[in-house]
Structure 1
Amino acid sequence: MKKSLILVGGLLISSWTMAQNPLSVHVLNLENGLPSSDVKVTLEEQKDGQWVQISEAKTNQQGRISALFPENKPFNTALYKVTFKTGDWFKQNNQKTFFPEVPVIFQVDGSVKHYHIPLLLSPYGYSTYRGN
C-alpha cells in the first residue's frame, strides 16, 4: 500500500511538472522496450539564423526529461531543436550505432501549451513524433 501511494504521488508530481513546463522528452529503446536513462539532450532556439543552446539535461530512470525548457524564459513562437546525444548513450551501453545524434527540429506556433517529443531508438533507426 505504501509503495502504491509513493508511486501515485510521484506520478502526480511528474504530471504537474510537465503541465508547468512547456517541453518534455522521452527516450525508449526499441530493442528491449525499456526506457533509456542518462541520454544527454540539448535544446536550442534559432535566432537570426543561428542555433543558440538554451538548455541541457539527461533523461531519468524512466527515460524522461519532464522539464527541458528553461524556467522563467518565455516559450516564444520560434524554431527549436532538441538533440538527443545517442552516440554517447550507445557507447556507455557497449553498443555501436549509425546515428551519433538525433536532432529534432520543430516549430512552436502557440497552438498548444505543452510539447512532448518522444524518441523511439535502436542502433540503426529511430522514430519520433509530436506527443502529448
Structure 2
Amino acid sequence: MKKLAYLMAGTLLATTANFAMAADNPLSVHVLNLENGLPSPGVEVVLEQQNGDNWTKLNTGMTNEQGRIPALYPEGKKLEQGVYRVTFETGDWFKKHDTATFFPEVPVIFSADASVEHYHIPLLLSPYGFSTYRGN
C-alpha cells in the first residue's frame, strides 16, 4: 500500500510540474491516440506564426510520455495577437509504429486574440481521422 501511495504522489508531482510549466507558457499541446486511448509520445510538433503570406517558424518540440508538450511557445516571449499554425508530424509517428495513415501531418491554424492567457490544443488522432479543439 505504501508503494502505491508513493507512486501516486510521484504522478501528482509530475502532473503538478507540467501544470506549472503550462501556466508560465502561453501554448501547450496534447496528442491522444483514439485507436487505443493512450497518449502519443514522440510526435514532433512545429509552431509557426503567419506574417502576411508567409509563415515564420517559432519553435519545435516532441511530445513527452504523456503525449504533451506543456510549453511550446518560445520561452520568455509574450504571445502576440495573430494567426499561428501548429503542425503535428503524424506521418513520422505512425511510420515509427508500423501503421499506415492517411494524414502525413495535421496542421492546426488558429487565431490568438489575447482574450485568454493560455491556449491548449489537443489532437485526438487515429490513422484515418483526427479531431481538435481549443482546450484549457
Residue 4 of structure 1 corresponds to 8
Report the residue type matching 1:16 in the other structure: A
> Is 1:127 matched up with 2:114?
no
Report the residue type matching 1:26 in the other structure: H
Q: 1:67 aligns with which of 68, 71, 75?
A: 71
Shifted more, 7-16 versus 117-126: the winner is 7-16
Q: Residue 88 of structure 1 aligns to a residue in which SS?
A: helix
Alpha-carbon distance in 1 for matches of 2:123, 2:36 = 14
Report the residue type matching 1:36 in the other structure: S
Alpha-carbon distance in 2 for matches of 1:126, 1:3 = 33
Report the residue type matching 1:75 in the other structure: L
Give percent identity, aligned residues only: 57
Alpha-carbon distance in 2 for matches of 1:41, 1:116 = 13
> Is 1:47 matched up with 2:51?
yes
TM-score computed with the length of structure 2 as normaliser:
0.94
> Is 1:96 matched up with 2:100?
yes
Report the residue type matching 2:134 in the other structure: R
Q: Residue 39 of structure 2 aligns to a residue in which SS?
A: coil
Q: Number of aligned pairs?
A: 132
Alpha-carbon distance in 1 for matches of 2:37, 2:64 = 16
Q: 1:85 aligns with which of 74, 79, 89?
A: 89
Shift of 1:4: 2.2
Residue 20 of structure 1 corresponds to 24
Alpha-carbon distance in 2 for matches of 1:126, 1:48 = 28
Alpha-carbon distance in 2 for matches of 1:95, 1:12 = 33
Alpha-carbon distance in 1 for matches of 2:90, 2:120 = 18
Alpha-carbon distance in 1 for matches of 2:12, 2:94 = 31
Which stretches in structure 2 are left out of the alignment for 5+ residues? none
Which stretches in structure 1 are left out of the alignment for 5+ residues? none
TM-score computed with the length of structure 1 as normaliser:
0.97
> Is 1:35 matched up with 2:39?
yes
